[in-house]
């Protein structure tokens, strides 16, 4: 399986925004992108159907020819944690079900998977986002809001990712507001503590962010290295 698992330090840090930018970048390289956001809460009801906004954005950016149900099969209306939303809908979801959705069609291209909430947020009845990432064994891209306090958040999350034995492809800091304190340079400070690339981008409603080439190459190169390792074994 080739792909990447996008997670965050929290909810509402711009994971989908980065996922959209990454999908567009990969499509420009003629890479077939398979978007997956297996579970999404806070969906809007349109004509009696729950529409997952984030999953739909990923689907459009990837120019995915499949169905929205393939991208996001588990949808809930309340804007709360997925597990709690599932309980209210009297549904029990397991990590195995989410893994099955992410693996479907994965042999046909690059699977771009977005979790829900933070890395240690509960995602199913029996697991966290971290457990789904471990089951898939994909490189992890960590997204955080570029704000005061992010140093602690990122360092805690990167430690958790490494403890789980996962490859950290990079950290992206999203400048989500216009009142960003220019005296801060969180990206530079984090580079003093991390051995992976750290990038800072400015969040924009027009989804025009272009991700650094270094990050794209790092994600793709990691897959080449893993493939060679498997062949050698």
- How many other CB atoms sit within 10 Å of the CB of residue 108? 10
What does the CA dihedral 22, 27, 33, 35 come to, rounded to 10 degrees?
A: 50
**Catalytic residue flag (residue 37):** yes
Question: What is the DSSP-derived secondary structure letter of residue 105?
Answer: T
With residue 33 as reference, give the H or E element that holds it. strand 33-36
Rounded CA-CA distance 127/71 in Å is 20
Burial, 184: exposed, middle or buried (Cβ in 10 Å; 0-12, 13-18, 19+)?
middle
* Both tokens assigned to 79: 């804007």
Dihedral sign, CA of 177, 181, 185, 190?
A: negative
For residue 221, give Cα distances in angstroms to 55, 71, 212, 217: 26, 25, 14, 6
CB distance 68 to 101 below 8 Å: no
Among 24, 37, 91, 162, the active-site one is 37
- The residues carrying an active-site annotation are 37
């Amino acid at each position: 399986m080739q792909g990447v698992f996008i997670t965050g330090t929290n909810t509402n840090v711009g994971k989908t925004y980065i996922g959209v930018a990454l999908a567009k970048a990969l499509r420009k390289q003629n890479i077939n992108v398979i978007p997956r956001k297996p579970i999404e809460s806070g969906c809007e009801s349109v004509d009696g159907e729950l529409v997952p906004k984030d999953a739909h954005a990923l689907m459009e950016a990837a120019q995915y020819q499949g169905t929205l149900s393939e991208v996001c099969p588990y949808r809930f209306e309340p804007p709360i944690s997925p597990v709690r939303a599932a309980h209210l809908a009297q549904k029990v979801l397991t990590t195995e079900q989410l893994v099955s959705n992410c693996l479907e069609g994965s042999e046909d291209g690059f699977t771009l998977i977005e979790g829900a909430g933070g890395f240690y947020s509960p995602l199913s009845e029996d697991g966290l986002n971290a457990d789904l990432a471990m089951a898939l064994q994909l490189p992890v891209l960590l997204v955080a809001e570029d704000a005061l306090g992010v140093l602690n958040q990122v360092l805690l999350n990167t430690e958790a990712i490494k403890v789980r034995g996962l490859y950290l492809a990079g950290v992206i800091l999203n400048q989500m507001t216009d009142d960003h304190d220019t005296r801060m340079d969180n990206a530079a400070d984090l580079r003093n503590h991390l051995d992976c690339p750290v990038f800072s981008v400015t969040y924009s409603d027009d989804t025009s962010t272009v991700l650094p080439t270094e990050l794209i190459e790092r994600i793709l190169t990691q897959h080449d290295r893993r493939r060679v390792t498997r062949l050698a074994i």
